[in-house]
Every structure is written in structure tokens, then in C-alpha cells.
Structure 1
Amino acid sequence: MAFAKCGDDLEACQTDIELGRAFQSTLAPTQLPGRASAKCADWPGCSGLGLFGDCCPSGNTMLGCCSASRRLASETMSRKGLTVDDTTLQYCAGRIPQTWPNFQAPLGSLRIFQAWNTAWPEEGREASWKGLAGFARANGVKILVGTPVTCEPAQDEKTWGWTKEFLRLLDPSHVMGLAIGNELELLYDHADQSCIKELWEGKRLWKIFQQRVAEFDEMGFKEIPVTSVFTAAILSGNPFTDVPGQALVNTFLRQALWKYKRRYAFTFNVYPYFDPNLHMNAGSSSDCSEAMARAVCWEGPQCLANAIMVAARHKMQQLTGRSEDLFWIGEIGWSSPRAQALHTDMRSCGAFSSLSTFEKRLDSTRLDSTTRLGQKRQNERRGLE
């Protein structure tokens, strides 16, 4: 779920592309007569999602913003951040909230997956970048800047060129890190085998990684961490997955650590929401209360997110022999309404993707989970939620 601030008088605004699609079939935001009558009650679909209060017409039919009066307890928010969805980046990068939605805490860091997408109209990118860079400077925010690695080298080079253009708008104090590639260990499941072989066995990823970092350094970012983002799927290896024809992550990590040493940050996307090992309660086709409890909670070894992060830290130590390597959470979150990408048994459990479960999951982030991960460094850099 991504959020966008639509006005100084709104406490929090929620941007949801699925909600936006629902509005398109009824009443587009641009059709609303103005701020005075822009109420959630006037937008079909709001009440069913538990949204209420005032709405903010965004000027684009894919966006709909509603205030939410929920206030959740916060914990170590300075160590956390927000991932910026593509819709927000494309249409309202300058309207990201200065404070956490639903929390009384300033926003300190952001992650963007890419500076711009080749499928988007190019005329919008400079305005988006200026808005995002201006937001970072005005609020002291650091950005984890992502650049894709795909099976389309020409497009990768184009997006990398755009990434450098965006980076020129920032100074090192506003760059948290450079993330080269995202979840590449999963690419084999839907990409041509020749691409996968070239990427891993042919060392294309490692070559690109070094080239990108070298150019990043030339721009004045030599002291900024670098990373490639993976999922918990890589924990299946020893210590990380290394399967020819699929992904040679362990080999890549050894190379990156050898060359960049402690500058390299381990980054994981952690999503209990999509865990394929979650199933219905025994004898039920719709009750998932037991699995949901494990997916939502933080306290105790049975809690999935906590267990994944502990396992990741142990695997990192197995690889490097150190307990204090830089460890970031690139993404962690929940979805309500149900995500289209949810294909596990939980798809049949209405409570799993309900707004109340979403709120419970969000509220649980008040826990300072770093104290349970064996992390001794108090100044370890923040993760992103």
C-alpha cells in the first residue's frame, strides 16, 4: 500500500490503485466538483474499504485519496521508511507525506524501484524527479535508489541513464544506497533460459553491478552503500541459493563482498502475506486464523517475518563470519483489499486480506524488532516498509 499527501489540512491520504480502478467505473476524481464536496461518502467503494472523511481529487483517474483518522502506536520509526509505488512516482512524487500516515512520526527514508519506466510518457519524468528530490531536501529524507536489471539490456541502459540524471539532483546526504536489480532469483520462473544463463553463469549481473557502482562512485557517491535486493527464497541454499539455470546468488554475494566488503548491504524483501506455506486451519476451507496469526505477529519464534529476518542474519554471518554486516529490509507489508498476485490458499480466506487484518499488521510494526535479531550496532541503517 502506498500513501500520498494531498493537502496540508489532511492528516493522512491513502493512494490505492485498486480503489482508483473502482472509482473509474463510477465517478472519476476529476469529475468531483471541488474540495468542499469531496467526501469519501460521495465516492462509491470507500465505505466498503473502511475509508472515511475527506477525499482529495488528484487530477488523475488512477488515484483516489481519503483521509484516515486511525492513529497507531509507533516504535523506532527513524529506522523505517516507505517504498514508493510506481503510480505515486509517476503522478505525485512531490506529494509524499512528511509524516508517516497513521503515525505521529516524521518520514526519514524512501525506496524507489526505478527512476522512470520506459513504458511511461517521458515528458513527465523531470517534473517527477524535481518533486521527489525537492521533497528529500526539504525534509532531510534519504532515498534508496533502485535501477532494474532485466532480460532487455537496451532498456536497462536507458533506465540507468535516467537513474544517473535523477541522482544528479541529489547529494550524498540524501542517498541511502544504490540497489542494482530486484528479486532476480525469481526471474527464471518467467524468463527465457538463455537470459538466465547469461545473467548468472555468464556473469552479466556481476559485470553490470561493477559498472553501475563505478559510475555511481564517479558521481561522488563512493561512501554510499550498494546492494541487490533478494527475497527470502534465497535462504534455501547453503548459506544462500546457488542453482545453475535458476540463480547463483551465493556466488554473486561472495564476489560483491570480496570487492565492496562492508559497503555491500544485504537487502531482503520479506512478505509473509505471500508465503506459500500458509494454509487453512485443519478441516476448514475458509478459516485461516492460525496461519494469519503467524503471518501478522512479531513476537515469538512462530512469527514468520521475525523468523525470516533471524534466519537471514544467521545466513549472513555464515557467509561473512561477522554479525554486524549491513542488513536492510527492502519491503515488508500487507494488502487490503486482496492483492491480485495472491495465489496461495490464503486467497480463499476473506479475513486474511481484510482491512482489520491490514491495520493489525501495520500496528504490529510498533515493535522494535531489531532487538530480536541479534543486532548489536545501534547505528545500523534503517530498513524500508
Structure 2
Amino acid sequence: MTAGAVIIGAGQAGGRAALMLAEGGYNGPVTLIGAETLPPYERPPLSKDMLSDPATPPTWLADPARYQQAGIRLVLGRQAIAIDRRAARIRLDDGTDLPYAHLVLATGSRPRRLPFTLDRLHDLRTIDDVTALSAHAARARSVLIVGGGVIGLEVAATLATKGLAVTVVEIGSRLLGRNFPAPVAALIAARHATAGVAIRTATRVRALHEDTGGIHATLSDGSILSADVAVAGIGVVPDSGLAQAAGLAVDDGIVVDHRMRSSDPAIFAIGDVAAQPGPMGRAMRCETWQNANVTAAHAVAAILGAAPPVAEAPWFWTDQYDLNVQLAGITGPEADGARIVEQQPGAQNQAAIDGRLFLVLDGNRLIGAAAVNAGREMSICRRLVTAGAMLPDALIGAATFDGRAARAVLNPRPASARLVDA
């Protein structure tokens, strides 16, 4: 087989990279390897539409026929088990060796697991996970969610809407402590409480066991919670073992430069597994849909010898109940000490349900934003954050976000050229 581009990992990032390489004129074959037997699909619907209705079909990244039309070779249901950097070859679990000129690692991440192996305890990362959880949930009246992060709360919202009694146990002092400003997390917590979800924060699960009566959790305060089924949503870890075994630089992910190139110039890493240059010189990972697409675009541009894409602020969203929550820029603990200003959406966004906008400011510089049912405002804020814009006091101090004034910051009018009498 002629050496070309080999992409390991057929998720969002890997699928996007394969399509962009093939359709961008890459001079060689493009091979996409995936451990699942399905072509690349979108993961956001797993905890929402697909969990709510197991008959919901996958949302394909692209029409499956498009890969063949683009000349992409799909190798599905196979795992890469070794990289031979000297020979520029990879080995699959069926003994096949594949040569490469460029290797893209899009191995993603895997759920962080509780130290219990129980039939009623589920993770949620793949379509198979949704199928298994849905089967149990269909017979359940109650569910225990371990972890008050995004995945745990999306599952909580979906199952509460289906009529299950839901309890969320979170080890931190509040929900969504990793990425969300405190007032936004409080708003989401209040919406869950309104839906009847019981929330226990600053609480650890000490033990789990199951019997014919359900699954039983012993908590750090000594109490015992019982439910028909449980879901662990305690984060993910990068799937970087293949890279580490090959001798690539690894630090909570595969260390890459701004072009997504690893410590081996022929090997790139994208998506969840890529540890990108961050502030203070420390590599950082980003586990979002947008990051998968952006890092794929950067790697493909580098491989094709093209200019890198224009930088944009990190962006993320979650849908829970009737809330659409979006975050852009710096909004987590790294924003400690920043000023957070809450505003109402603009008058043009009257259709919003309980809309809120939160500006995260370093002085007058917008470094992050969070929007609840305020997508129009967020589209402007994303551009402001990317530009590192300084906001005027009048815009910051207003009770309602002034979209016109914000756009003027992005596109200031040129000074008048009209002559002035001396």
C-alpha cells in the first residue's frame, strides 16, 4: 500500500480531518481507522435526543457515501496497537501493517471510571453506551448520576424529562465547577431543582453495590442512596497510550505545537487528545465539538502547506431542558478574580426564555462570556473575545446588552474626512 495520510480515530476530529485532506487535494491516499464499526457521527445528541428516544438515528458527520466519493479508505472495527516511527508504519489489532507519510492521532478520550464494575452502572461516550443505558432506563423509575458536570447534567435533564426521579451527587462544592462561572452554574442548578432533580454537592460516593432491588451508593456523609440505575459522568482522560508507547511527548495528552504537530514532525494530534500551547507555557486540552473541528483544520492546513485558519475563541454549548447555554473564551477557574457582569439580552431577542448574558472582564477587556438563551448576543461576544476587545464603560454598565454598540467596537467607523474651517 502506498504511504499517505493515516488518521487513527474516527470521531469528530478524525472524520473532519479525513474529509478536509481528501477534498483539499492531498497528494496520496487517505485512510481513516476507527475502533467502532460505524462511520464518524456527532456525539452531542447522545446525551439528549438519542437518550430520550433510542430510535433516533445517528447524526452522521457526513453522508457515509461521501467518504467513498472522496476516495477515503474507511477501516472500521479495528484498533491501532503500535506505531513504528522509524519505519513510518502502524500496526492494527488484526496484524495488518499500514505505511504513512503523515499520521494524525485523533484517539480522543475515554470516560474516567469509578472503581466499580456493575451491570447497572453506565458511562456515556458511544452509541453502544446509549443503547445499554436506554434499555435500563426504560425499566427504571429512578437514576443516580455521579458527577455534576456537563454530561451528568445533560443525562439528568433528559431522564428527568422522561419522568425518572433523578439524584445528582457531585464531589465539588457546586455544579459545573470546571468551566462555568458561578452565577451560570447556579442558574442551571435552579432549573434542575425546578424539574425535581435532587442535588447533593460536596459529597463523594464511597461505595457502590447492586442487588435485585437496584444499585446502592454509600456516600461520604454515611447516608445510602438507592436507585434503579446509575450513570457516571466524572470526566474523561485522554487516550494517549499509543502515542506514549511510541515515544512521543505526552503531558495529559499528546503535546503539540500551534500547527498540531507532535514531537515527531510527521505525526499530528487533534481533538480531545491534543495538548495545545496554553497560557503560562503549559499545554492544555479542550474537550469540545468546536475544538475537534478547529484542530483538524489546523493539522490539515499544516499537512497541505497552507496558511493556518484564523484563530477564534474557544466556544462550547449545552442544552438542558429549555435552556441553551453557551460559553466562549475564559469562563472557568482561570477567570478567578475577573469581573462578571450580568445583562439582559437585547431588545431584538425578545423570544428568549429567561435569557441572560454574563460578561467576564479583565478590566474592560472581554476575556469570556456565557449566554443562557441568548444566542444572538453570544455570536457577537465570540467575536469580541477573539479580538480581545476593550468594551466602553457605557456598554458594560447597561442593564441590557447593546448589540449595536458591541458591533461598533468590532467595526469602528473611520474618522470623518470632512474639511473643517480654520
TM-score by length of 1: 0.26
TM-score by length of 2: 0.24
Of Structure 1 and Structure 2, which has the larger fraction of its residues in strand?
Answer: 2
* Structure with the greater alpha carbon radius of gyration: 2
Of Structure 1 and Structure 2, which has the larger fraction of its residues in helix?
Answer: 1
